[in-house]
Amino acid sequence: MRFIDLFAGLGGFHKALHELGHECVFASELDPVLRETYKQNWGKNINIHGDIRKIVKDNIDLIPDHDILCAGFPCQPFSKAGKQLGRQDYRGTLFDEIVKILEVRKPKFFILENVRFIAKHDNEETWKAMKVEFKRLGYEVEHNDYSPHEFGIPQHRQRIFIVGIFGKNSHDNFSFTNVDKYKKSVVELGNFIESNPLNSKKLPKANQDCIKLWQEFIDALPKDVKIPGFPIWGMEFGADYPFEKQYPHLLSTNELSQYKGNFGIPLKGMTKEEQLANLPSYARVEGEFPGWKQRYIRYNRQFYKDNKIYIKKVVKQIAKLPSQSWQKFEWNVGDNERIIYNYLLQFRASGIRIKKPDFFPSLVCTNTQIPIIGWESRYITRREGLKLQSLTGLKLPENDNAAFKALGNAVNAKIVKLIATQLLSIPLNGLASKEKTMNMDLYGNKVPHILTA
């Protein structure tokens, strides 16, 4: 079958369908670096173009007839980690380009991938609007959420996969339950990481010093004191600014001068601008604090009150860390051994996250949040990142920042392959194409039908 690869990135859809024996006849990718990388992976003569919006508007005939449309359209407008502007964000309207192509070319199938929150965005109004468009075009649609860790790949990355088949009653022969049969209960982390690889990037000294401080914080607590499961916000240790019925923006400079800000610093004698600068960033908002923030502030202030005698000294050092994200700490390993470097780590905007060594957090499109293998004090390598996205064998951009951004935006090829195997093998008009189940390697050689990571 012939397929097109929209918002192609590294080519996760391409890899999955290529291995099943299908042919890419058109691809688009806005990023020029990724377009060049795509050619390196899939052939210098590959038909890859730039801005799909411009192509659809000015020359839609560039897009040939095809059987399968694949698209991992931009997720940032719908992500819970972003501003959730949805179709108000110009990237959110790129779904409209998919609709225009479906309307003109009417492929038999489509496979789309996005953050799972798209189905909940704007009280489900976004998803309802999408379904209306699919129905208008004659497609029956199913969707399901999947994460690589459900299929033996140690990465937690929940995504929605949307499949469409042209024609009435077309989904009678497709079910995501056939995909579910490939789920695994055991994830072997060791199969996806290398032992002290030569090309690994070590954790910078500043980050190591930060972790050392938080280890001192943990060690200072008596063994019978539980490490909080809620996010630790160090800035709240010693703070007493109001955050419930009143909050900083409602108070005058004189009123706010009666309180203490970050780590107990007195706000007296400061201008209002200086007072706000000495509050946590989440406390500078002009509106009411949401309930969950109020809870975490209460929990942190009480925890400090109860344990000040043990942690006061190290908290003074934590207060000197260069950013508020480093002054926040998330201990997600419960009552297990209290040694930070025994776990997987991640420096996030929400804090330094410590998690069990079972599977990695989701790869994201910012290089500052690359997962860290604690016991080797290093970031995961490019090759390990490819494994986590089931893209082994592909080239990445030379620049590490660009490489991990591309990995963070990539679609997991194994999950696509599992879905495509079920979707594309169903009969159409009573006929099933033999080529739909053909399995090939990256170089076009026929190989046994094995689903690999």
Phi and psi for 50 in degrees, rounded to 5? -95, -120
Taking the CB of residue 223, how many other CB atoms lie within 10 A of it? 7
The Cα–Cα gap between 366 and 346 comes to 12
Residue 330, helix vs strand vs coil: strand
The Cα–Cα gap between 18 and 28 comes to 17
Residue whose structure tokens are 């025994």: 342
Taking the CB of residue 274, how many other CB atoms lie within 10 A of it? 12
- Smallest CA-to-CA distance from 142 within 170, 103, 121, 180 is with 170
Phi and psi for 187 in degrees, rounded to 5? -120, 120
Taking the CB of residue 26, how many other CB atoms lie within 10 A of it? 24
The sheet with strand 328-332 has its strands ordered as 232-233, 328-332, 351-355, 344-348, 372-373, 378-379
Residue 75 catalytic?
A: yes
Q: What's CA 408's distance to the chain center, in Å?
A: 6
The Cα–Cα gap between 62 and 85 comes to 31
- Helix 291-318 vs helix 205-220: crossing angle, to nearest 10: 100
Given 70, 75, 210, 365, the catalytic residue: 75
Residues forming the active site:
75
